[in-house]
Structure 1
């Protein structure tokens, strides 16, 4: 039997608590950043939407380009050191942006360069985050650890969006960016304090250490090939990542453009869309309580089934349902995505060898997110061509079809979780 008391007992583990607090503070800083950066850039003399687009693109492109390299780095080096470097880079990036805005020296190339550093840090950080959890907790506590980390993340995201906007209004975007940078710096300090057992390096990394500098690029590609072999050798893994590439395409179009457009024109404006987002946030918090109790024998099957109801708010908006039903649909979406996320991360951490986990998670992130910009680009023309509500129905249909298609694969339906009675391993030892 699992109990909330036993789950919360994990907080007595020094390493896990340090990781939880560091991650929660880092996400709070990241939630501050978009509001502060957007309003800070748009407030600059002569700034336009194009100026903001350049800065945000400069941040987004390195994140995509360096994601796979981030996976290689996190599998070669101690992951808590990699996280410390990434958090420190983020702190430097946002403190540099803050300094430029506070002193009034804001050339666009300098703003873009600082934003690019933030993108690189995210690419380095994300693969290490997935890989470090098995380094911190025992195998039979992975799902609980992921759920508690998700709880801290969700609280920080909601609080950060509110507090970030208030900070911009009260003391200005530049100082809000200072707060964000200091949060990243604090997260870096906390991660540095982790004391973890060494993880055996991948064979590719051992070989890379013996090569000359001239062979460095080839060694990186060798590591990427090794990670790719691990990725494609598991049907459930590549199928669900392919599914999510289509889900993210549809959700970027619906959440980023079509939903706000319908809310503005037909549902009462920003207040209506804010209610939908608030419903999603409530669902994300409630979903963590579900995942602390849920222990399915077929985790990927359950996780994939959870993606079907995520089409609900788009379907309801598309058929002109009352706002309160759309909000309830958003609550369901938030719960389902949290359940999916915890089951997905836990299964990857159990099934993928530790020495390849960060590289595999980088392929997961890249594959899942790569079509998102296409969704944003297609949303506007689709709204003009068929209407925003009809386009939202199309997004809902794409989510449903992609999820049902994933369920056709035996690897998705058949993967079983290990028996809890035999899963427990020796406790993670500090060094």
Structure 2
């Protein structure tokens, strides 16, 4: 990570608690040559294929059962709040214990909770039963996400980090192309419960794949070593001292609250009365096509100083919110979603690569947890308030200005000079 003077060498240090698997591999710049990375990629591919169907299936399943945007907002928030509450603890756990073990256990837990959600939808139970299940699922997400943020640095190194991030992004986006469309068709034909059931099975299969990822054991902790609370304080201290990290986090706090509130809550409601579940699934798939395109390109292309272009282009990610507010048809929404997918994936790969190459490996999960926590804290406010604001002022009045504010938020971090000067590590080819 750059010091206060961006021209100084990055503050990149090895872990003091474990020997990253990637450092012992024969070709750190070629992640697919590593069996551990291949099993991790397989597990993530399966899990993401199921998870890509879940949002559409859950949204229209809840709307079918209740006809209420308020219930949809409550169910999605019931998962988000526990996830946020668990994220920082998850960061400490993922830096303190083996990340492959964490992923196996959380995948098993997520499989059980999604099976419960599927059962509620398939048997037409009251949607109130979805609230505790969504809460448990959110807890497992909060424990999983920091481990995913840190494990890539355990499996590869150097230029292989961007290649690994791009490969994972490509697989994720391929799933997001097929998943929403499949979920829309399943929901329209037999109901969303079956798509959620497939997601439950995918978590179970992912856990089996993660069982084949074997990271080195952590070195024994010495007596009088730092406690979990001390390590959590260290993570916060590092995060809060780096303006290039927290400035981006704050920008995404604004963007995520507006995007999740308008796109995730108002989007299905508007689509339910206009383009339907099938049309909404196609729009989400178009976003996946754009993201997949960017992910494939980023496997080979490296921008020397990428943060400026990444943030500037992210302002285009607010375009779908504006078009949704003005009542655009499926074609225009799909085109805007495609562009949003391209810029979002470009930023994601850049951000993951910069984090993995400029943050000390032993701190990756804790710093990543703070990044995600603070960027998602305002999301429940956006999700809960959006239906009421739309009912009071109209969808266009909420969506169009919201899109404009989200676009501006993405440009504000560019005032941080050290952020614009960050370079991607080209070593490890």
The TM-score range, normalised by the shorter chain, is 0.7 to 0.9
Answer yes or no: is 1:86 the counterpart of 2:90: no
User: Where does 1:130-279 land on structure 2 (aligned, <5 Å)?
Assistant: 130-167=149-186, 176-198=195-217, 206=221, 210=224, 219-258=227-266, 273-274=280-281, 276-279=283-286
Count of residue pairs the alignment pairs up? 403
Distance verdict in 2 for CA 1:52–1:254, change over 3 Å = closer
Aligned to 2:290: 283
Bigger shift: residues 371-380 or 180-189: 371-380
Task: Give deviations 1:137-176, integer Å, cap 9, x for gaps.
Answer: 1222111100110111112233232334445566665554
Aligned with residue 29 of structure 1, among 50, 70, 78 = 50
Task: Give deviations 1:11-47, integer Å, cap 9, x for gaps.
Answer: 3431111111100111122234445555666777x99
Q: Distance in 2 between matches of 1:305 and 1:229?
A: 28
Aligned to 2:38: 17
Q: Distance in 2 between matches of 1:326 and 1:41?
A: 23
Distance verdict in 2 for CA 1:380–1:284, change over 3 Å = same
User: Where does 1:22-421 land on structure 2 (aligned, <5 Å)?
Assistant: 22-37=43-58, 55-98=75-118, 111-167=130-186, 176-198=195-217, 206=221, 210=224, 219-258=227-266, 273-274=280-281, 276-316=283-323, 324-383=331-390, 387-418=394-425, 420=426
Q: Distance in 1 between matches of 2:276 and 2:64?
A: 24
Task: Give deviations 1:376-405, integer Å, cap 9, x for gaps.
Answer: 344345445654334333123212321222
Distance verdict in 2 for CA 1:174–1:325, change over 3 Å = closer
Distance verdict in 2 for CA 1:199–1:42, change over 3 Å = same
- Which TM-score applies when normalising by structure 2? 0.81
Distance verdict in 2 for CA 1:358–1:53, change over 3 Å = same
From the two aligned structures, give the one with the greater helix fraction: 1
Distance verdict in 2 for CA 1:301–1:381, change over 3 Å = same
Deviation at 1:288? 0.9
Aligned to 1:3: none
1:7, 1:144 within 8 Å by CA — same for their partners in 2? no
2:73, 2:265 within 8 Å by CA — same for their partners in 1? no
Gaps of 5+ in 1: 1-5, 212-217, 426-431
Distance verdict in 2 for CA 1:375–1:81, change over 3 Å = same
Which structure exhibits the higher relative contact order, with contacts defined as CA atoms closer than 8 Å and separated by 6 or more residues? 2
